[in-house]
Amino acid sequence: MTGALPRGLEERDGTAFLISTPRDSVTGRNLLADGRVRLSLGPTRDVVVIDGTSCSWRSSVAA
């Protein structure tokens, strides 16, 4: 573990996804600017789409 989990994810109760991307990537900049998230899972003909909001968390460990 490289640091404490973000607030709300400590218990891993199945209500959140933890996905990471660099802040300076196009995806990271878009998430920081807008906060909307759309996650698609599954094959093209049977996809599940999950809409949500993002939160920012920075590890205490330097890369």
Spatial separation of the C-alpha atoms in residues 27 and 60, rounded to whole Å: 21
Global pTM?
0.57
pLDDT at 1: 40
Give the residue extent of every domain in the chain.
Answer: 1-56
Encode the chain in three state secondary structure. CCCCCCCCCCCCCCCCCCCCCCCCCHHHHHHHHHCEEEEEECCHHHCEEEEEECCCCCCCCCC
Spatial separation of the C-alpha atoms in residues 30 and 37, rounded to whole Å: 10
4-59 per-position pLDDT tens digit: 666 655 556 677 787 888 889 998 898 889 888 898 989 888 999 999 888 877 76
